[in-house]
Amino acid sequence: MSTVSLVAQPYALVGESVRMDGDDVLWLDPPQRRLLRWSPSDGSLCEIALAVPIWSLGRRPDGSWVAAGEEGFHVIDVSTGALSAGPPAPLAPGCRLNDMTIDAQGGLWAGSMHRGLLSGRGALYYAPDAHASVTRVADGLGVANGMAFRDGGTTLLVVDTLSRTLLAYPREGVSVLAEPFVITDFLAIPGKPDGMAIDAEGWVWVAMWGGGCIVRLAPNGAVEQMITLPAPHVGSLAFDGDGKAYVGTSRARLTDAAIEANPGSGGLFRVRVGE
């Protein structure tokens, strides 16, 4: 049996891009331009102001941190929030970057979305590092969200929130992606897929925005496990070295009644995963 507990409550409008930094948990609240850090050793919550909205984080193999802002990548100091911007990505009109991941060679990958949620405007982008030119490597997406590599880096998984699918892109070169195929459409699962993480055993987990849950997927896309949380908008998750999941939630677009019924919304939850 799984147990869910609220460990920090920063009242995030949008709790995005949960990442582990040693034992500490990092995540973002982009609309409020905040980088959040929670330490399980003493339960402390640290809020770091950011100069611009940052939508996702990634750690390179050398230990340095990179972020996706609205227009391009940044090198970020996760202790101070200091940012060093790279060149802008060739975004379509009305679009911004969203989630990101980093490959084993340190290459940066990010998805984009249209600010007005128009379908077909999202794309995927690649840069070898934060200060290099950014290349568009795939397009035709709705809202490109959770991203992760698997199969030894030969497959890029991408959530398309707007089309409610998890896609797999075969990787044919350093920055070359083949046509994707659909792994799952989350049939009968409440909400829309958002952030994604892969646990130590290789299971794919997806946060369901508006569904109040995280789900574990079998290799064929079937939902094998669903864990509910006391927050409707579940946006992102990451696993620590002991297999516990940390899950970011949001308060955006919730009515006063929904927040009253789910006061943990906007907080960080810890999930001890059971079968």
Least-confidence region, from 98-107, 131-140, 266-275: 266-275
- What are phi and psi for residue 261, nearest 5 degrees? -75, -25
In 3D, which of 235, 257, 254, 207 has the Cα closest to residue 30?
Answer: 235
Of 262 and 274, the structure prediction assigns the larger pLDDT to: 262
Asked if residues 24 and 57 have their Cβ atoms less than 8 Å apart, the reply is no
Distance between alpha carbon 206 and the CA centroid of its chain, in Å? Answer: 9
Q: What is the pLDDT of residues 127-183, one digit of tens each?
A: 999 999 999 999 999 999 999 999 999 999 999 999 999 999 999 999 999 999 999
Which contacts (CB < 8 Å, 24+ apart) does range 65-71 have?
66/100, 66/102, 66/108, 66/129, 66/130, 67/100, 68/97, 68/98, 68/99, 68/100, 68/108, 68/110, 69/97, 70/96, 70/97, 71/96, 71/97
Compute the distance between CA of residue 32 and CA of residue 15 in angstroms, rounded to an integer.
10
What is the pLDDT, as a whole number, of residue 275?
59
What local confidence, expressed as pLDDT, does residue 119 receive? 87
- The pLDDT assigned to 32 comes to 98
Domains annotated for the chain, with CATH where assigned, are 3-272 (2.120.10.30)
Q: What is the pLDDT of residue 105?
A: 96
Residue with the larger pLDDT of the pair 117 and 209: 209
pLDDT for 241 beyond 70:
yes
If you ran DSSP here, which 8-state letter would residue 201 be given?
Answer: T
Euclidean distance between CA atoms 182 and 178, whole angstroms: 13
What token pair was written down for 134?
Answer: 């950014």
Q: How far apart are CA 57 and CA 19, in angstroms?
A: 7
pTM listed for this prediction? 0.97
